[in-house]
Chains A and B, each alone.
Chain A
Amino acid sequence: NAGVTQTPKFQVLKTGQSMTLQCAQDMNHNSMYWYRQDPGMGLRLIYYSASEGTTDKGEVPNGYNVSRLNKREFSLRLESAAPSQTSVYFCASSEKMRLEQYFGPGTRLTVT
């Protein structure tokens, strides 16, 4: 049981480049989330997916898009990376909304 996995672990991009962060969970959870973590800011929700086939914006969605590919996978795409998107990105999942969330190990992204 791997739980929540994320790829890649580290990534460096130049301003304007695009990339997709991958997330998968093997716990048969319905809900999945993308957060970013910045120093002194805690975690902030970017997008979430309450169930397969649905996605919704969170607190800081600008500059990002998401795809809920199937029940297991939820990807986050940066179409044109900016230095302000330098952060650590965490994917999480939960059986249902309102229940505890399980987090992946994170992706550390640097945009130069």
Chain B
Amino acid sequence: GDSVTQMEGPVTLSEEAFLTINCTYTATGYPSLFWYVQYPGEGLQLLLKATKADDKGSNKGFEATYRKETTSFHLEKGSVQVSDSAVYFCALTNQAGTALIFGKGTTLSVSS
């Protein structure tokens, strides 16, 4: 079935470091892909999305490109801030289009 695999965390970085969080997926068809972020004690917020191959989603300095050939949707940011500390979830729409399938989440901790 459809699934999402994210890199294991936690990821610990210093402020202004470059961030990559890997996400690969298995899916039938052409799912939409999403990155969500969860700050401590809060619900999930949509960070960015891509709906077709080669689309690049971007928001708040974060970017991810929908790579069909490598079935990947890696999240990147050129210079992280302490305020980026959160849990990041990669997700895709399931084949039936009825729900999202989430990865297990990657915890990012940024220190000053």
Interface, chain A (partner B; CB < 8 A): 4, 33, 40-45, 48, 50, 56, 58, 90, 92, 97-106
Given contacts A42-B103, A97-B99, 11 further A-B contacts (CB under 8 A): A4-B43, A40-B104, A43-B89, A58-B99, A90-B44, A92-B44, A97-B97, A101-B100, A103-B44, A103-B45, A106-B42
Q: Could you tell me if B102 and A43 are in contact, using CB atoms closer than 8 angstroms?
A: yes
Interface size on B, as a range, is: 20 to 34
CB of B66 closer than 8 Å to a CB of A = no
Q: Could you tell me if B43 and A41 are in contact, using CB atoms closer than 8 angstroms?
A: no
Interface, chain B (partner A; CB < 8 A): 4, 32, 34, 36, 42-46, 49, 89, 93, 97-100, 102-105
Instruction: Give the residue among A43, A45, A92 with the most B Cβ atoms within 10 A.
Output: A43
Contacts of A97 in B (CB 8 A): 93, 97-99
Contacts of A101 in B (CB 8 A): 46, 100
Q: Could you tell me if B100 and A42 are in contact, using CB atoms closer than 8 angstroms?
A: no
Given contacts A43-B89, A98-B32, A100-B34, contact A90 B43 (CB under 8 A): yes
Given contacts A102-B46, A105-B43, contact A42 B98 (CB under 8 A): no
Given contacts A103-B43, A106-B43, contact A56 B102 (CB under 8 A): no
CA A44 to CA B34, docked complex, whole Å: 16
Q: How far is the CB of A7 from chain B (nearest CB, A)?
A: 14
Contacts of B4 in A (CB 8 A): 42
Q: Could you tell me if A50 and B43 are in contact, using CB atoms closer than 8 angstroms?
A: no
Jot down 27 A-B pairs with beta carbons below 8 A, ordered by A: A33-B99, A42-B89, A42-B103, A42-B104, A42-B105, A43-B44, A43-B89, A43-B100, A44-B102, A45-B99, A48-B98, A58-B99, A90-B44, A97-B93, A97-B99, A98-B32, A98-B93, A98-B97, A99-B32, A100-B46, A100-B49, A101-B100, A103-B44, A103-B45, A104-B43, A105-B42, A106-B42
